[in-house]
Amino acid sequence: MTLVAILTGAGVSTDSGIPDYRGPQGLWRQDPEAEKLVTYEFYMADPEIRRRAWRMRWDSPALKARPNAAHRAVAELEKAPGVAVRVLTQNVDGLHQLAGMPDRKVVELHGTARSVVCTACHARTTMAEALARVEAGEEDPPCLECGGILKSATVMFGQRLDPVVIGEAMSIAKAAEVFIAVGTSLQVQPAASLAGIAAEHGARLIIVNAEPTPYDALADEVVREPIGTSLPALLEGLR
């Protein structure tokens, strides 16, 4: 079994109509008012910020988006004999799983926008359920278990990444024989350093990204062509 780790960033989902929100050049970073909606401190302190955040979730294209050719190619590689695939993703859209990747083989570094979590009792429900309450008129729906503040199960600015999730991602990077970073600028830590860890531990490092990344010099192969066509071809070659 060859272990192939695939680190995916915003560029993998742009063909599905989801813009880059979170990256260094992302929409949130360029709009201080929008950034407040996804910053933990502001979100917890201000009910008006939460009402706006729920409206933003309601309007977000992420939950209606469909997987594209890149997501499907990853899921197909996972079914190929002799290859074990693990996805490490900076995306919160759940599109790898919708394309057919088993949930247990996807490490969501920044959480998921498809679930909602209570900030007090940590109870989880689906985003669809919470948005149905918003549609029914609750502008800032509280936790049904304890009345606490609900938020999407994503890692907001100002929140720590889950150390268990990071530990799992590090182990996969260390064990990988092939490590492919796709559609990520490799500028957001600690996700970015996973590429370096994989290379240090002997993985063949392949970077697929339109723009240069800080890890290009370490890579065995750098691909600049559009992800929607280059990734399926690259993964086909691995089978």
Among 31, 138, 145, 220, binds Zn ion (CB under 5 A): 145
Number of Cβ atoms within 10 Å of the Cβ of 145? 12
Q: Which stretch binds Zn ion (CB under 5 A): 18-26, 114-122, 156-164, 229-237?
A: 114-122
Pairwise CA distance, residues 35 & 28, whole Å:
5
Tell me which of 96, 110, 122, 201 is the catalytic residue.
110
Pairwise CA distance, residues 77 & 144, whole Å:
41
Pairwise CA distance, residues 84 & 37, whole Å:
38
Closest distance to Zn ion from the beta carbon of 139 (Å): 18
110 counts as catalytic? yes
Q: Both tokens of residue 154? A: 């994503």
Site for Zn ion in 38-97 (CB under 5 A): none
Among 56, 121, 132, 210, binds Zn ion (CB under 5 A): 121
Pairwise CA distance, residues 126 & 116, whole Å:
6
Among 44, 63, 84, 120, binds Zn ion (CB under 5 A): 120
Does 148 engage in binding with Zn ion (CB under 5 A)? yes
- What H or E segment, with its residue span, contains residue 208? strand 204-208
For the chain, the distance separating the N- and C-terminal CA atoms, rounded to the nearest angstrom, is 11
148/226 with CB nearer Zn ion:
148
Catalytic positions, written as ranges: 110
Interface residues toward Zn ion, by CB under 5 A? 118, 120-121, 123, 143, 145-146, 148
